[in-house]
A and B are shown apart, each in its own frame.
Chain A
């Protein structure tokens, strides 16, 4: 067994007085694709933001290749090779499509991803490169958000509800691009509402319920009943 690259242990996350995560433990191996599922408000986004450094936690609660990173700033976490595709895309409206991508690569990590390779993955973005990012359709904006994260050549990419609010045909298009993304040995954590979709593209799954890990297992072997019990708490 290789050591996991990301190891979360006993993570409690708070928004002021409100506790959103209770002792969450999870791990991601190198090159592995993991799903996080759970109902609205279960804490999926909180977990993503904690790993990315947008929420401050106990340092040892999150380890990256053994290093305690729970308290690092987001820019420091990004430099280590973790990128977040945030829920709601959150592009920079003052920047053009291409500038959104360039700024994603600002950290200067070496790797396969560059403007060229992102444009090859999503050719439509090349046509729209000089437009304001807000003038794009939702699906195209999501492509920019993914491309922006890839531009930092991360070893782990966190994708928070990349299909939220998109038409099914667009969702399929984006998920078809996924193997080309994680194929290069990059690990991924995918937060997804569509459970069937989440199970089909991942090897392992964690189900969060009210801030706790209610279920974990192999995507291929977990039963429907187990999952809906963990999902809805019934």
Chain B
């Protein structure tokens, strides 16, 4: 039963990792941008949630109403103001700039919020649980997982059934020809980054409710997100969800063997999958 339980908990944790990863997957898919600051932006969202809930007395989940649009706006402005200038045939400039951004965000958070660990207070939600057939699941992890599935489903639907999704795919295919169709690349990229950070906002709030955070925890969130994206296969959002679940289950099973193996076993499974299937479990079908 312990093992079944570990798989269940790992699956639910995988939902959170998929949320970390979905934004990364989206911007890589649309503009081949690897955002090193992604983990720090998740943490930034958690702090924005903290400010909203302490200053305005909002429940952290209600604070999403403010944090999601705020992160969308930050993403759009960041892309149009800075990142678009770094995009070109060379992939190094955006890597360097987002690396610099990561450092700036961390230090900015340190200055404003200090290094003390913080947590978002979600009241009863944190401890509520459901039991069935000898298994117990927390309500919060369940909500996180369902939200992840819903967000990824919505993104997938947006990609294949809306004008915005069509614009994303066309721009991803051929930037200059998309421009001929009246799609201004700078704006399309801004929207993609805005959307990416809107998802990141949800990830950040859930992170902050689940665990305590400080300005330095972004790096490992970035790693988990990357691992989920790569396990699932680049540019495939359902693959990203699967990748998050594989990572979460691996960690949970490792932790079941010995608590100290939890994080390590996730990385090992990632490396094994990378070695055996370099394009991930569900690579995007070409042509």
Contact = CB atoms under 8 A, between A and B. Distances in A.
B172 interface: yes
Contact of A74 (B169, B173, B180, B287): B180
Interface string B164-188: 0011011011101111111110000
B163 interface: yes
B177 A90 contact: yes
B157 to A, nearest CB: 15
A107 B180 CA distance: 10
A49 B95 CA distance: 31
Given A106-B163, A132-B287, A134-B287, A86 B180 contact: yes
A75 B176 CA distance: 9
Contact of A103 (B170, B176, B184, B287): B170
A106 B182 contact: yes
A84 B287 CA distance: 24
A65 interface: no
A4 B166 CA distance: 36
A141 interface: no
B169 A95 contact: yes
Contacts of B163: 106
Contact of A92 (B177, B179, B182, B184): B177
B182 A75 contact: yes
Nearest to A86: B177
DSSP majority for the B interface? Answer: helix
Contacts of B180: 52-54, 74-75, 78, 83-84, 86
Nearest to A100: B170
Contacts of A74: 176, 179-180
Contacts of A86: 177, 180
Given A92-B177, A93-B287, A134-B287, A78 B182 contact: yes
A198 B177 CA distance: 25
Given A73-B179, A86-B177, A132-B287, A94 B184 contact: no
A107 B184 CA distance: 11
Contact of B181 (A93, A94, A103, A132): A103
Interface residues of A, number: 26
A125 to B, nearest CB: 17
A95 B166 contact: yes
Given A99-B166, A134-B287, A106 B173 contact: no
Given A95-B169, A102-B166, A106-B163, A90 B174 contact: yes
A89 B180 CA distance: 13
A104 B179 CA distance: 11
A40 B180 CA distance: 24
A95 B169 CA distance: 7
A132 B163 CA distance: 17
A36 B182 CA distance: 25
B103 to A, nearest CB: 33
A152 interface: yes
Given A86-B177, A93-B287, A106 B169 contact: no
17 contacts: A52-B180, A54-B179, A74-B176, A74-B179, A74-B180, A75-B179, A75-B184, A78-B180, A86-B177, A90-B177, A95-B169, A95-B173, A99-B166, A103-B167, A106-B163, A106-B167, A106-B182
